Structure 1
Amino acid sequence: MIVDDHPVVRDGLRGMFDHVADIEVVAEASDGFEALALARSARPHVVLMDLRMPGLDGVGAIQRLRESHPEIKVVVLTTYDTDADVARAMAAGVAGYLLKDAPREELHRAVRTAAAGGAVLAPSVASALMSRPAAPDPSPRELEVLRLVARGSANKEIARTLLISETTVKTHLKHVFAKLGVESRAAAVVVAMERGLI
């Protein structure tokens, strides 16, 4: 599903996916409220979400989507890569953050990666996350949890796999976020990969 308040942008994005065999645009929305309504009926696997829209903005829509449809992956597609915008989006729990000047192939790859449970960040966003001061590396157990996150496992699955409680999984992730200086699972995976930790 494409969510953007500019019809021209939505048309352009739809055109980029028109002849891609494994990706289908199932819905378009012009703001966050419309996106939430359409998510119920269209059931998209991935949402490409603009950040700045009238009514309910991108971050507000992402937060509500995460609550009502946690299985839907959201990739931010915006013209803004300021630290504040990135931090708010990451904290809301996005699967990726791309800029609108991303080439067509990168958009296709981002949708596929997000659908498979992976994380995607624009280079400028990744380097901004990387330039934060480094804290101690995560412990071996924390990295085990993060590896499972990178494979797309939910907390419940991670708890089952590692024979620990969901609360313990959440605690490990909280420590990982603090040590890597990030605020979301997607950002943690990307930063850990960049540093060669996983």
Structure 2
Amino acid sequence: MTKLQAEQYSAVIADDHEIVREGLKAALKTPGLIEEQGICVVAEAADGIEALAAAKECRPDLLILDVMMPLCGGAEIFTDIRRWSPETKVVIFSSVTAGGVLGRLIDAGVDGMFTKGGSNRLLYEKLPLILRGGRFIAPDCLALVDGQESDTALTPRESQTLHMILSGRTTKEIAAAQGISPRTAEKHRASLMAKLNVKSVAELMARALKDGLFEA
């Protein structure tokens, strides 16, 4: 990948909040803060479709990506970026606290991950390492993933039942799809809700989104 100048890296910033994009852009471009000559921000994106288009066109050295983007989620964007621009270093920078979502992105191989609730200093400190082939997952992200794994890991059948409930399927429809009796399907539903400590479909949706068990 060709640098715009000797040793100068290029970046795309994808976040649906303009204030976040402006802050990151200012930091990346500042000589000496992250890189000696600064990092050239070649494009910005406010939604997932724009992020994909910018990354495909510019093939930047770095993509700073929010997880929950309008029109297309972070996981889908990451998968496409790896196909279209495999040399681009993808760094997740998000306020998402769902351990399941973050865990899947870590497993998929993102190059870096930081939370917006943490210190930006850590992000700036680790970007040079990431740009040169290293990998860094912030400790607070790992803590969220570790907490998720022990509390809400679902079996394949539970996960299937969850998605069917949240897709609006009735107990009778779930039973038919799984080849079980409506009574057994109702038991599975009750067991799932007890495991997640919820009492209504609305609470189930909120808990599933929070823990990354289901994406809106």
TM normalised by structure 2 equals 0.55
In structure 2, the partner of 1:76 is 92
Shift of 1:129: 5.5
**Could you tell me which amino acid in structure 2 is paired with residue 91 of structure 1?**
D
SS at match of 1:28: strand
In structure 1, the partner of 2:135 is 119
Note the 1:38-187 alignment, pairs <5 A. 38-128=54-144
The superposition leaves residues 69-98 of structure 1 with CA deviations (integer Å, 9 ceiling, x where unpaired) of: 111110100012321121121233211110
Deviates more, 1:28-37 or 1:100-109: 100-109
Larger radius of gyration: 2
Gaps of 5+ in 1: 134-198
8 Å CA contact 1:16, 1:104 repeated in 2: no
Q: Which residue, out of 30, 42, 45, partners 1:19?
A: 30
In structure 2, the partner of 1:190 is none
Shift of 1:35: 1.4
Shift of 1:29: 0.8
Identity across the alignment (%): 33
**Could you tell me which amino acid in structure 2 is paired with residue 39 of structure 1?**
A
8 Å CA contact 1:63, 1:93 repeated in 2: no
Q: What is the rounded CA distance, in whole Å, between the counterparts of 1:102 and 1:25 in structure 2?
A: 23
Question: Are 1:7 and 2:18 an aligned pair?
Answer: yes
8 Å CA contact 2:65, 2:90 repeated in 1: yes
**Could you tell me which amino acid in structure 2 is paired with residue 56 of structure 1?**
C
Gaps of 5+ in 2: 1-11, 32-36, 151-216
Q: What is the rounded CA distance, in whole Å, between the counterparts of 1:34 and 1:92 in structure 2?
A: 22
TM normalised by structure 1 equals 0.60
CA-based RMSD: 2.1
